[in-house]
Amino acid sequence: MELATHIATVKTLTDRAIKNFDTIYLGDPTCPKFPGNISSGNDLDRAVDRVKKLGKKCYLSLYAVPRTDDFKWMETLIEKAEKLPIDGFEVHNMGLLRLIKSKDIHAGLFINLYTKQTADLLKQFGTSRVFPNPELALEEIDIIKKSVQITMPINGNIPLGISDHCFFIDELKMEGSCETLCRTPKWLKQDEWQLGNIGRAPISGYELCMAEYMSDLLKSNYQFFYIYSFRRDEVYLETASSIYRDLIEGKIDEIYAVRELSMLAKFGLCNGYFFKQSGYKYISKRNKEAI
Amino acid sequence: MGYKYCIIVKYYYYLSMRENKSLEIVSPICSVEDIKVLENYSDGFYFGMAGFSHSSKSFEIDKREIEGLRKATSKKLYCAFNRMPYTADEELLLKNIASVSELVDAVIIQDAGLINSAARLLPVHLSVGVSVISYQEAVFYKNIGASRVIVPPSVMPDEIAAISSVLDVEVFVSGNLCRALQMGKCWWDSYERKSSAKRFGVCSKPCKHITGLTVMGDDLEFIKAMISSGAKSLKVAGRGDIKEVAENCKRIGGIIAWN
């Protein structure tokens, strides 16, 4: 069993934040301008060194929606990273696949993986593990899993898409530095649902929570789990990851885990799209109704 | 008199340019009747395959109707299979593509794996939902067999020039174009409601209610920029009102003639 998450900067790459994780995706793939973003090459050596000293795996997460001009700096970054003791790259863009020469590739969620055919294609280009598109139902992911290893998201605010321009600066014309504007999500509310924006990506207001279904996932032989953590702090990362660790090791039960995880969620919990429903709903395994 | 003469000359220049197929106008159709309305203004037509396209059911057509289209026109026919299929339906989708391969000039697909498979059967155009915004992505898709890309509206003219050195480029010049997020890399709609825009075709555009980021893309300067960008094909959107589509095609033809 493996537990993974993203850490955007060296500043947030604390022992406390990552102690319960086995694999760290270094950087925030949604925006190269996010201050200190390891995805843009900031403090990459230090970040790799820190993760490796703790005996964990690390993958450099590459910017998800590069335009033609972005490939210049990204190519240089990839060349540099290939010389470091990273385990591989997380790639969200098909155009980047051929640039990676000697390291493992994990396909990130923005690569838009919906089908087994695409999983097979990605394998041909050196991808060993894929992140299914968040819209996929569990039964579809089960089919794709026959082709390639799956990174299974189990908790956190689900990214709902991506843009290559900033919601705050380019659209709302907000003033201020990225440091200030992007420190926390801006929350939006419409009728019964909430969502947030982290600059170039909207995220769900309700947090994905699969604690009730962990035993089913393990029985189905899922091994690589992931917690969404864009703009979350070390307290969240430490708490959420330790709850899942304890749950998997049988130290706590599912009801307790869900209760604890709901306390971390600003607006409440959801199951995402796993059960062929609207992404914001939560279906309890026991009650089969929203809680 | 001189002004009218100038218009006539430009019009014939425009016709000759279309004759040379240097710049193509493609428009949406749902029937043979639509072809009759648009025949004089379009070089090609696109439509959705029943059950597999990114449009609502009422605008999709089946194989028998496609046979009718083929008999009705010698112009290009582009059939959209651009819905993201359920994993269980992947083989069915490929069978359907094979079944129309003799009838259409190309298929429009969104999923990378299916593009790779379908390109062995017939020319494949990348749906706007593939969201190709760079030269390097275009190279990837060229290598797996694509021949044309329909680019999102956020792609700038100089970027189109770079992409068109690899693949033929088709650009939207009319229609309600989404610019809130990268087209195709958004599942906001199904967070709010059960049906996914990528699975069922029609997006409720939740971004519009909150951010107002959905914009019309058919202003004159935008169209002029697209014409001179190196694009091979100009795509007119707007299923439902065929007279409006015809008017748009005429207007865009006029703009081409004047540029």
Shortest alpha-carbon distance between residue A169 and chain B (Å): 13
Cβ–Cβ below 8 Å for A116 and B90: yes
The C-alpha atoms of residue A190 and residue B209 are separated, in whole angstroms, by 9
Cβ–Cβ below 8 Å for A160 and B191: yes
- What residue of A is the nearest CA neighbor of B178? A163
| Structure token pair of residue B179 | 């610019």
A21, A98, A23, A35: which is closest to A61 by C-alpha?
A23
The C-alpha atoms of residue B215 and residue B237 are separated, in whole angstroms, by 14
The C-alpha atoms of residue B173 and residue B234 are separated, in whole angstroms, by 6
| Structure token pair of residue B246 | 């015809």
pLDDT of the residue at B112: 98
The C-alpha atoms of residue B249 and residue B26 are separated, in whole angstroms, by 8
CA angle B235, A117, B118 (to 5 degrees): 45
| Structure token pair of residue B46 | 């696109």
Does the pLDDT of residue A289 top 80, yes or no?
no
Cβ–Cβ below 8 Å for A163 and B139: no
Q: Which of B85, B144, B198 sits opposite A135 (nearest CB)?
A: B198
CA angle B131, B135, B137 (to 5 degrees): 50
Cβ–Cβ below 8 Å for A115 and B137: no
What residues in A contact B89, CB-CB < 8 Å?
none
Question: What ipTM score was computed for the predicted complex, to two decimals?
Answer: 0.94
B102, B44, B55, B59: which is closest to B81 by C-alpha?
B55
| Structure token pair of residue A251 | 């130290």
pLDDT truncated to tens, each residue of chain B (259 aa)?
A: 455 555 544 554 454 444 444 799 999 999 999 999 999 999 999 999 999 998 888 889 999 999 999 999 999 999 999 999 999 999 999 999 999 999 999 999 999 999 999 999 999 999 999 999 999 999 999 999 999 999 988 899 999 999 999 999 999 887 766 766 777 888 888 887 777 888 877 787 777 766 554 454 557 888 888 888 999 999 998 777 899 999 999 988 988 887 7
Residue B78: burial class (beta carbons within 10 Å; 0-12, 13-18, 19+): buried
Mutation to test the A interface, candidates B82, B87, B186, B195, most A Cβ within 10 Å: B87
Does the pLDDT of residue A167 top 60, yes or no?
yes
Cβ–Cβ below 8 Å for A71 and B134: yes
Cβ–Cβ below 8 Å for B114 and A167: no
Instruction: Indicate the fold that domain A2-157+206-270 takes in CATH.
Output: TIM Barrel (3.20.20)
The C-alpha atoms of residue B69 and residue B32 are separated, in whole angstroms, by 6
How many contacts (CB atoms, under 8 Å) link A and B? 145
Q: Which of A93, A117, A277 sits opposite B113 (nearest CB)?
A: A117
- What residue of A is the nearest CA neighbor of B195? A278
Query: Which positions 182-241 of B are in contact with A (Cβ < 8 Å)?
Result: 182, 184-188, 190-194, 196, 198-199, 206, 209-211, 213
Alpha carbon B3 to its chain's center: 34
Mutation to test the B interface, candidates A30, A123, A160, most B Cβ within 10 Å: A160
Shortest alpha-carbon distance between residue A234 and chain B (Å): 27
pLDDT of the residue at B183: 74
Residues near A145 by beta carbon (within 8 Å), at least 6 away in sequence: A221, A222
- What residue of B is the nearest CA neighbor of A134? B187
Segment holding B125, helix H or strand E: strand B124-126
- The average pLDDT across A50-60 equals 98
**CA dist A15 → A10, A11, A57, A155, A179 (Å):** 11, 11, 14, 20, 23
Cβ–Cβ below 8 Å for A278 and B194: yes
Segment holding B251, helix H or strand E: helix B242-257
pLDDT of the residue at A290: 44
Q: What are phi and psi of A214, to 5 degrees?
A: -60, -40
Cβ–Cβ below 8 Å for B154 and A119: no
Contact B96, B52 (CB under 8 A): yes
Q: Where are the domains of chain A?
A: 2-157+206-270
Shortest alpha-carbon distance between residue B68 and chain A (Å): 32
Cβ–Cβ below 8 Å for B87 and A280: no
Residue B53: burial class (beta carbons within 10 Å; 0-12, 13-18, 19+): buried
Mutation to test the B interface, candidates A114, A158, A198, A274, most B Cβ within 10 Å: A114
B42, B5, B9, B16: which is closest to B235 by C-alpha?
B42
